[in-house]
A and B are shown apart, each in its own frame.
Chain A
Amino acid sequence: MRGILWTAILGAALALAGCRTGSPNASPTLSEAPASVSGFPVTVTDASRRKVQIPRLPERIVSLAPAHTETLYALGLGEKVVAADTYSDYPETVKAKATLNCWPRPPTEQIVALKPDLVVLFTQGDDFLREMDAVGIPTVKLFATSYAETLQDIRTLGRITGTTATAEEMVRTMETRLAAVEKRVAGAPPRTVMLELDAVDPARPFVAGGKGVYGDLLERAGGKNLFADLPQPAVQVSAEQVLDRNPEVILLGDTKAPVQPQQPEAVRSRPGWAQIRAVRNGEVYRVYSERITRPGLRLVEGLEEIARLLHPDRFPEPAAVAGSNE
């Protein structure tokens, strides 16, 4: 029966949807003046607008988001990470750690059993946060929706792990590289670009909307996001609209999708897509989805890659970091 099927599946689906959108996307703000490396306890206000106190320097960290895992490793905290979620796959060494399947809910008991003194997460909902607060494990939610907020989150991660100096250095590098990109593309006419995130059903692809990290990257890289008018980070649109808005460039963020990966050559054979400017002019490119969908350290690589694809004339020299189209 349909009703039962729905109870079975949609309940779970809605739970996930709640996780994704349930909490305000406020950028975390530091509630105190920067403390010295050993200056614990540290108190921060996180993306769930909770004040979280980290009483002493964390030694056992659980990361429930690939972006935060990457940042923690870059901060030199790989040794301290005791477990990470299923999607944390970078750097390679993280795969040796305990893996936590966080869907439909994070495994609270497993997490508590790991005796962490810090849990960082990205999307999980308020019910999980309440549980963690109840057991007294400092749990910080960091949910960046732009390049600037990503930098803030790296700063926060540095502060709550006693690696402020390294974090500041990372942020400075990311700011410098952002400025360099912005200088290169300055004055270039912005190119209309669609970033595709999933096109298993090419009649209604998921694309980057106006609010969110990827939309922000497109604009900063000298692009004009084709669906900037939509108030979601990622949004499912009609193919009619893609044809009608007719982007100059299509970026495929789904060439490494675990289910039905897409290829630039195959876009032409989608019904009607052969007429799109990007397809006719051969401007359909792959992008590394991990670099653009994870608001962490590698975001700047994604930014540089997109800028290079949108404005090749502004980047005459070969890329320092290998792009995905070579």
Chain B
Amino acid sequence: MTAIARPVAVPELTIEPGARSVASGVRACAVAMSDAGDVMRHQAAPAGFEGDPAEIARHAMTSTADDVQAAVAALQVGVAALDAFCDETEQIRSDRIDLATRHGHLVAAADDLERRQSAAEPAAGLDSEIGRHNGQVDTFATDVAAWEQRITRAEDRLVSALRSADSTAEADRLATSAPDVPGLTDELDRVKNDPAAIYTWWKGLSRAEREALKIARPELIGNTDGIPIADRDEANRAQLSALHNTLEQREADDELTDADRDLKDKIAAIHQGLDKAADQFDENGDPLPTYLMVFDPDAANGDGHAAIAFGNPETADHVSVNVPGLDSTMDTFDGVSGDAAAVREAASRNGNGSVASIAWLGYDAPDFDASVDGIRDGLGVAGEGKAAAGAKNLSDFVDGLKATRQGDGPAHYTAIGHSYGSVTVGTAAGGGMRVDDVVLVGSPGAGGKNPHASDLHGNVFVGSSDEDFVTHLGGDDRRLLGADPAHDDFGGTRFKVEPQGEFSLDGDGLKAGIENHTSYFDDADQMEREHRGERDSDSLVNIGKVVSGRGDSVDEVSPRTESNDAWWLKQAGQSWLDRHTSHRGG
């Protein structure tokens, strides 16, 4: 009787996914130390200074700069090795799942063969079947052994790297051979504004060079279009973490300045934004990944630039970019992030492929009083200048997404502009930005150079509540911010939105107007809070359809035919009538 072989067990993997948090912590520390080192170097004896060596040696800022630089070099070695280890073990973990599956099949096959072998009259040819099975078991044992060796080799490489950098003497040596960050920065400068060239350049760097840049220049690497999203995220999170911890130290010392408090608010909003999709899962049922794609708290005259991706835009089938409007600053970015997360979830429900949705504040949005006069007058003063500058940034950002694309074929891209953000999106889509679909909601105009939807690249969808006064600011004569995209003459596809209340120039009607302007992304949770049932707003459902590539199924409504001048006259007349009636009545 031929013996039936049993497969070897697949060993447990003792390396856990949390290993990456070790790399993140070391990177954040390295960023902080690098920052301190830069300040010290700026105050140190100049390079090449020919003076009294004893005086230089005694100069504390010079010696501190050297000590910090050495520590950073050692930390860079550690981060690069830890990161490589995590990448390798991710693949090893995935391969273990395959091995475990094969193990299960081989055990089942062995059970079956044993049962058949123990039958009163075993079938002819069973021995040769057992022979094939035993061969598969041998191959399996070889593959398990190779898998274990990969773990050992990965561990050996990490151990070797960490041991090479675990003393100050070794750090001094490493500092002399650390990557040339200024030289690499110059190289990046030569290809700036060309995301495709930047991506090619980045992929040509060694892991050590990439880590050195992320540590020494996180604000540059984290915010450069064309750098892969995972690297941008690591650089920005390290910068965020380093700043956050420094502020905590300052707060503990009771030394927070007003500027520190502003920065603290911004960082809190980013943290809240990153948590907005904490309860969402990707198409494989894994927790949804989020990426901090832009983090520049000093940009836009201190209002800040930020972007968070919910889902991976490098691999998703559908990618949307949410561009917010009036009063958008980094310290309110959690709200913008919530809108983008809601869009992703609404689009995912259509089951038409994976979706990544990005909240993007990469421009200086105008800031006005939340009143009819405040917004109308403010928009008149702001004009299209900020939208034009934002459109350039948005186009570059979308180009960066395309340059780092990893998925099968190009993604389906949608740009969504809300309020003044719709002017930015309209201006970008009327210029160099190439997206498949454009969604303009709560729009005061599509940009002065775009009198018709055909002037924009991509199919144009419009969500405009008749009770949202901002959407009545667009005019046929292109004054203010261009044509009203909800008007019949513009030629876009207008979809249904759900008004929250009737607008009027006075009292509660004004409040309703503001609510109508800010409710285009209301999701089921928000609707539930408003006691309107557990369903997304009509607006969000329709936006989700467009983002998921099903724009042809939006709930379409008739475009406007009346001029907005007539609408405002009607509002003014009604207001006068209300006041007059009230006066007479009183």
Q: Say whether A associates with B.
A: no
Interface residues of A (CB under 8 A from B): none
